[in-house]
């Protein structure tokens, strides 16, 4: 049996809002070129644990390299609050920094991930 909590979050301007159910308090801090620049802290969840509450019309998508990852972000304020990751294409990676609450970040263990060398290290990510 696992304890789970429900969080809500969104982009800076409020156009995009989502809800996520969390049962694992570990996030990955990736050092790949895009995550490093965005400051993304990956809270990877299965698709059934993620609900987009509003803002589908405000989302736009950026892809590169293999095109598997769908880097969604708010076209109004530019914030990347979640996306479909290459490592878990049937789930979501939520940016922990985009969850509501002042002390939310402190509830999670932050684990470094060498995404700059993705192919050699993908086996280190939890499924």
What string of DSSP letters covers 63-74?
--TTS-SBEEEE
What CATH number corresponds to the domain at position 24? 2.170.150.70
- In total, how many domains does the chain have? 1
Task: Single out the residue of 3, 19, 5, 2 nearest to residue 99, CA to CA.
Answer: 19
Domain that holds residue 22: 5-124
What are the phi and psi torsion angles at 121 (to 5°)?
-120, -5
pLDDT digits 0-9 by tens, 43-71: 999 999 999 999 999 999 999 988 888 99
Is pLDDT of 118 > 80?
A: no
Predicted TM-score (pTM) of the model is 0.89
Write the pLDDT tens digit of every residue in 72-115.
Answer: 999 999 999 999 998 899 999 999 999 999 899 999 999 998 88
């Amino acid at each position: 049996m696992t304890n789970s909590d429900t969080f809500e979050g969104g982009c800076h301007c409020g156009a995009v809002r989502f809800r996520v159910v969390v049962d694992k308090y570990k996030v990955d801090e990736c050092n790949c070129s895009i995550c490093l620049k965005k400051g993304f802290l990956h809270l990877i969840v299965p698709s059934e644990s993620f609900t987009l509450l509003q803002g589908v019309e405000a989302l736009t998508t950026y892809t590169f390299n293999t095109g598997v990852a769908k880097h969604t972000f708010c076209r109004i304020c530019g914030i990347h609050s979640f996306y479909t990751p290459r490592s878990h294409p049937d789930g979501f990676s939520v940016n922990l920094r985009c969850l509501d609450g002042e002390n939310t970040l402190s509830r999670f263990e932050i684990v470094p991930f060498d995404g700059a060398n993705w192919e050699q290290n993908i086996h280190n990510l939890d499924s």
